[in-house]
Structure 1
Amino acid sequence: MRVLHVVTLHTPTHEFGGPTRVAFNLCRALESRGDRCVLLALGDGFPGGKGRLPGSPHGGAPRRLDGVRVRLFQARHVLPRFEVSGITSPALLARAFGYVRAADLVHVHLMRDLVTLPVALLALRAGTPLVLQTHGMVDPTGKPVARLVDALGTRRVLRRADAVLHLTERERRETAAVLAPTPIAPQYRLVNGVAAQERRTTSGPPTILYLARVQAGKRPEDFVRAMPTVLAERPDARFVLAGPDTGALADTLALADELGVRGALRYRGALERAEVLAELRRADVFLLPSLQDAFSLSVLEAMSVGTPVVVTATTGLAADVREAGAGRVVDSRADAGNGPLLGRAVLDLLDPAANEKASLAAWRLVRERFTLDAVAGTLRGIYAEVLAGRAARPGPTPR
């Protein structure tokens, strides 16, 4: 099967985060099962003179990144005010229809932007089977520009796609609500998955790790606010902040200075894949204070090596973490008071017996429910159902 995956942006430091990583992971897993996948996206921040991009159809460079066939086009920031939603590439859009027509199925990692939405509309025009995956990014909104985008295209693709994938029941309801009362296309659950790993062992001073984009929505400042509570009882603890800075690093480090804990905090920056796994294996506790992550890959990766996690109750994996005993779930609070609550949860997991129990539970949880191989099997089943449904239709489907 020839599958075209479409995501908005890929950068060397993975600044766009989860959707791009999911797309790369799924492409690798599907290739291992015999499918032929190509990932189409904008690229930014890659070396190359005069805006040329390694892997670009115009640059003459290799067309693989991280083991995946890619077609990357230099991002053009046409609407800087809208950040990632305001970038596009005329060259990508000019070639996209050809890529869509050449595929047996198009899998779009959809958001309200100038890349994924236009390509989804082109798939409808071409009559190529279309699967949408929203990653919690398409929900009801009162923002005028977003509502205009919905009227111009989002509602159409949600209604006419062959399948719409969701991570959680909440995402399923919210995506459907964008169309209400008009029915949405058939919806299927597809969780995120990660590669199975050997379980980690730790030694030395206790280490607490934040590994995600350093942006306000992930609440890295709450990671820092947890530090005084932990250090009061475990002055030997060390805190590691890792991930690309997407706007919140300066305030986060300033808060550490203000609280007098800067000496116990190390910022690692953006990490390569091997460094990510190494940091996860060194950590005693993984702490992600985000209040709204739909289904964090970072949390899954931490648990895949047996690192217990602390998450908030409103994140998509909270119920799984709580049920399995894979860490601690803290009530979500969007104020400074969340720091001490997170700190107490970390201290609880620094107890050796509690840490060992949660570590084993986390490792088993991923192996039993969230391996990439299992997710790829589920996805291929959805693809097969979509293609069978198309084959059963009498004649061409009007778009």
Structure 2
Amino acid sequence: MKILHAVTLHSPSHAFGGPVRVALNLAKGLRERGHEARLLALGEGFDPWPVSVEGVPAKLFPARRLLPLGFSGMTSPALLASASRLVRDADVVHVHLARDLVTLPVALAALRVGRPLVLQTHGMVDPSERLLAKVLDAVAVRRLLRGADAVLHLTPHERAGLDAVVGAPPLAQAVRLVNGTPAQEERPPLSGPPRILYSARLQARKRPVDFVDAAPAVLAVHPDAEFVVAGPDEGELAAVRARVTALGLTDRFTVPGALSTPEVLTELRRAHVYVLPSVDEPFPMSVLEALSVGVPAVVTHSNGLARDIAAAGAGRAVDPGPQGVAEAVLALLDPSENTKASHAARALAAESFSMDAVLDTLLGVYEDIRR
């Protein structure tokens, strides 16, 4: 089966975050099962220009920023001109849909030429009062959600949001598909001072400053603790650095910027605890990666993985804000608690979020819509 995975942007800094990671994981898993999966996206920041990404054949078009709207204002005239031809070559077109000028045109091209179309929104298409969102919903998004052969959602909350976007009647072709993570080598036995890691985009919704503000309470108990704030800047880097300086903690914090996938795994294997203090996070790949390595995770209650983590004892779910984060980190720095949570994290990743289980569900969807 030929499957085309379309996502907005791929870059060395992984600026677009989780959707690209999911697309690559799925494409790699599909290829391991004998299918011809490819990646289609904008590209930015490469030298030399890649023709594959992590072993997945990729067609990347140089990104052009037409409007000052972040990812929504990026496109490629060459990609738009090629969209119909590219989707015709696929047996299934799987679009990681956002309100942007890449995935919307590719999905519309698939609908226009009658190729089986799967949409996966990763929480990026939800009810919005923004003018641009309303325009795009009226012009394209509702048509695509109604016309797709399958719409994949992560959580009941995301499904409710998609139904709200399209209006009555609710989507009939919605299918729940959780994110999966490949099996990873377990972190080695802990050594050295406590190391607490944040590795995600530095964006306001992800609240990296809360991570910084939790540090003094942790340091009061563990004065040798080390903190790492890693990830591409999306507006919060200056605030993070300013807060670290204001608290007098420059010797306790490392801010390495964006990390490659191997570098992220290296940091995870050194970490005692992983923290993602964001709110309304649908289903973060960074947390799944931490669990797969055996790093206990601290998330807020509105995180799509919060219930699973709390029920399994694989970390802690807390109220937003630095106080809850600090208390959870301190609890997980207890050696016996950390060991128990680490084993639970590995088990949760393997049993509930394995790539094999996700691929079994996804291939079932593909087969159903091709009949």
TM-score (norm 2): 0.98
Structure 2 counterpart of 1:91, from 63, 74, 78:
78
> With structure 1 as the length reference, what TM-score do the two structures score?
0.91
Partner in structure 2 of residue 364 of structure 1: 347
Residues 1:344 and 1:183: Cα distance change in structure 2 (over 3 Å): closer
Tell me how far apart the structure 2 counterparts of residues 97 and 229 of structure 1 sit (CA, whole Å).
56
Aligned to 1:346: 329
CA distance in 1, matches of 2:232, 2:44: 14
The alpha carbon displacement at 1:257 in A equals 1.1
Q: Which residue of 318, 324, 330 maps to 2:306?
A: 318
Shift of 1:184: 2.3
Give the distance between the partners of 1:326 and 1:116, measured in 2 at CA. 35
Report the counterpart of residue 208 of structure 2 in structure 1.
220
Contact persistence 1:310–1:345 (CA under 8 A)? yes
Give the drift of 1:185: 4.4
* Corresponding residue number in structure 2 for 1:289: 277
Query: Aligned partners of 2:42, 2:316: CA distance in 1, in Å?
Result: 37
Q: Which amino acid aligns with 2:328?
A: A
Cα distance in structure 1, aligned partners of 2:262 and 2:123: 28
Give the corresponding residue for 1:385: 368
Segment of structure 1 superposing worse, 1-10 or 139-148: 139-148
Q: Deviations over 1:166-195 (max 9, x none)?
A: 001100110111011144240001111111
Paired residues of 2:14 and 2:260 also in contact (CA < 8 A):
no
**Letter paired with 2:10:** H
**2:5 maps to 1:5:** yes
What does 1:1-399 correspond to in 2, within 5 Å?
1-47=1-47, 54-55=49-50, 63-80=51-68, 82-200=69-187, 201-332=189-320, 338-388=321-371
In structure 1, what is the Cα distance between the partners aligned to 2:230 and 2:147? 40
Q: Distance in 1 between matches of 2:32 and 2:172?
A: 29
Q: How far apart are the structure 2 equivalents of 1:142 and 1:327?
A: 35
Give structure 1 regions of 4+ aligned residues with deviation exceeding 2 angstroms: 182-185
**Aligned partners of 1:264, 1:145: CA distance in 2, in Å?**
42
Alpha-carbon distance in 1 for matches of 2:293, 2:133: 39
Structure 1 residue 373 displacement after superposition: 2.2
What is the aligned partner in structure 2 of residue 397 from structure 1? none
Question: Of the two, which has the highest radius of gyration?
Answer: 1
Q: Is the 8 Å Cα contact of residues 2 and 36 (structure 1) preserved in structure 2?
A: yes
SS of residue paired to 1:107 = strand
Report SS of the residue matched to 1:178.
helix
Contact 1:79/1:87 (8 A) holds in 2: yes
CA–CA separation in structure 2 for the residues paired with 1:380 and 1:35: 10
1:59-92 superposed Cα distances (whole Å, 9 cap, x missing partner): xxxx212111100000110112x11001111100
> Could you tell me whether the CA contact under 8 Å between 2:83 and 2:105 is conserved in 1?
no
Check conservation: 1:325, 1:358, Cα contact below 8 A.
Answer: yes
Paired residues, what number?
A: 370
Structure 1, gaps ≥5 residues long: 49-53, 56-62, 333-337, 389-399
- Please give the alpha-carbon distance, in whole angstroms, between the structure 2 residues aligned to 1:120 and 1:185: 18
Q: Matched residue of 1:360: which SS?
A: helix
Distance in 1 between residues matched to 2:147 and 2:168, nearest whole Å: 15
> Matched residues in 1 for 2:42 and 2:260: separation?
20
Deviation at 1:250, TM superposition (A): 1.1
RMSD value, Cα: 1.0
CA distance in 1, matches of 2:310, 2:216: 25
1:228, distance to aligned residue in structure 2 (A): 0.5
Aligned-partner SS, 1:263: coil
Whole-angstrom CA distance in 2 between matches of 1:268 and 1:128: 43
User: What is the percentage of aligned positions where both structures have the same residue?
Assistant: 57
Amino acid in structure 1 at the alignment position of 2:336: A
